[in-house]
Structure 1
Amino acid sequence: MTTTATHLRTIALHWKDLHEAAGQPVQHGAFGLGLCGYLARLDELDADQQEHQRQQAAHLRSLERDPIQLGERPVPVRLHILDTMRAVEAALHDTADQIASAVQRPPMAFAPSSWPAADRERRNQLARADAADPRRWRWTGTRRPVPYTALWLLARAEERPGPFRPLTGVQRDQVAGAAMGAADRVERALDIAAQRRTLEQRCACGGAIDVHGGEGRAPLAHCTGCGRIWTEGGVAAA
């Protein structure tokens, strides 16, 4: 539960940061960007490959600045941040829809007309309040903001009071999986988590190249074969 709670709080706390990052210029010191670009230039590219890359870059820049597609922005929009936000929003809302349909109990029924007037009014007041309970998940109307959805799922995972049945083990796993995947996307997009990946490109010696970075640190790569180390500035050691 601690891990699921941490993931959901991470999403809620950093959602505003994603909004702000979406409109910021690309940071070339982010994990892997500058370094991977440097490593890619170690190999000689033929003229056709270079022309393809130029065309692709021009196309992406046109998408970033297209006011019809994305609206007027003071600076180019960072498309990978927007993609992250859309993916996280869809994952959390779909999970909340499914969980609510399984564990949210129906509102209390209104009193039958045969009840005495006073009793009927008291019961109907309770029924109206139950139906309007703000803790209920709504499938219609405006979608809730992502931080609300994350905290709603957290409340269900922690069995907070409300018109809900406890989650089953399968449902807990479902929430945990969605929370972990969404938090991982947020952390990678903002570069706030330590990361490590192995590039498809191989070193000249044939060894695999591992890249380390994240948490605001400049990325660093090293060959697992010959031990060569690269930074964004070039070869640091061989």
Structure 2
Amino acid sequence: MTTAPTAAAADQLDTITERWATLADRAGDRPATTWPPAMGITRLMSEEERAEQAAERLDTDPDAPGPRPAPIDVNVLDVMTTIETGLLEAADAIAERVQRPAYRAQTGRGWTDNAHRELALLAARDSADPRRWRLTGQRTAPDAAEWLALRLRDQPGPFRPLDQMERELVAAVAATAAELLRKTLGDARQRTVVPHPCPMPCGGQLVVEGGDGEPPLVLCEDCGRTWTEGEAVA
């Protein structure tokens, strides 16, 4: 029977399969926004820091001299590589444990009877079963995510059911991959420390929260004061 954690992990793997193309499209774009957002924090910067930030903005001008940024988002490519590596390694490890070896039939001895022909066909069909996980050839993150989700759901095939340890392993990989995907696509809320003290008398630690589609805000962890994007931190 599929448990709630197993079902949640399978759903996370489905999300990776369904949104992989979106992630690949994002990798072909320049980063649309900078995280964390400035939100008035630039007023707390030194003159030197503000000059550096202005120079970075100037360099994005297509007419500015010097080399232009690559027309791809390298950070997204790194995320895709991390997710794909984790999923492929998990699928390889699970397949080695739960996937039944293909049937083998002796051939090449001149047998012509129906029984031996049937055995040879059975072995060929079993080896070519599309439900099998392949350790060679073209292997992608969506393929691995879909195959692992089917194992969590105990779909039939040349496999034994996953035991609890194997389910936990797949669930851990699924959770990490899904979280990386959500953060990269802006679906997960992020929390980042701001390298400037709170401008209030407490002088506490500032953090920025956002990145999930909701309006970001700056929060002081000491006095609890918050600032929204349209409100200067001053």
- Post-superposition shift, 1:114? 10
Q: Which has the higher helix share?
A: 1
Residues 190 and 212, structure 2, Cα contact 8 Å, conserved in 1 = no
CA contact (8 A) 2:41 2:232 kept: no
1:9 to 6, 10, 14: 14
SS of alignment partner, residue 34 of structure 1: coil
Question: What are the within-5 Å matches in structure 2 for residues 58-137 of structure 1?
Answer: 64-65=69-70, 76-111=71-106, 117-137=113-133
Measured after TM superposition, the shift of residue 116 of structure 1 is: 7.5
User: If the length of structure 1 is used for normalisation, what is the TM-score?
Assistant: 0.79
User: Does residue 167 of structure 1 match 2:162?
Assistant: yes
Secondary structure in 2 matching 1:35:
coil
Q: Which runs of 5+ in 1 are unaligned?
A: 66-75
Paired residue total:
218
Q: Distance in 2 between matches of 1:33 and 1:153?
A: 34
In structure 2, C-alpha distance between the alignment counterparts of 1:103 and 1:173, rounded to whole Å: 15
Give 1:1-238 correspondences, 5 Å limit: 1-28=6-33, 32-35=35-38, 38-39=40-41, 42-44=44-46, 46=48, 64-65=69-70, 76-111=71-106, 117-143=113-139, 145-193=140-188, 195-199=189-193, 201=195, 202-204=197-199, 205-235=202-232
Q: Considering only aligned residues, what root-mean-square deviation do their CA atoms show, in Å?
A: 3.0
Inter-CA distance 192–97: structure 2 relative to 1 (3 Å threshold): same
Distance in 2 between residues matched to 1:227 and 1:107, nearest whole Å = 62
The answer (yes or no) to whether the contact 2:206–2:218 under 8 Å persists in 1 is: yes
Cα distance, 1:54 vs structure 2: 6.1
Mapped partners of 1:216, 1:118: distance in 2: 65
Identity over the aligned pairs, expressed in percent?
37
What's the TM-score, normalizing by structure 2? 0.80
- Shift of the alpha carbon at 1:221? 1.4
In 2, are the aligned partners of 1:213 and 1:220 still within 8 Å (CA)?
Answer: yes
The CA deviation at 1:50 is 6.3
Q: In 2, are the aligned partners of 1:207 and 1:225 still within 8 Å (CA)? A: yes
CA–CA distance in structure 1, aligned partners of residues 125 and 32 of structure 2? 50
- After superposing the two structures, state which structure 1 stretch, 111-120 or 195-204, moved more: 111-120
3-state secondary structure, aligned to 1:230: strand
Distance 1:170 1:180 in 2: 15
Local SS of the residue matching 1:199:
strand
Which secondary structure does the structure 2 equivalent of 1:211 belong to? Answer: strand
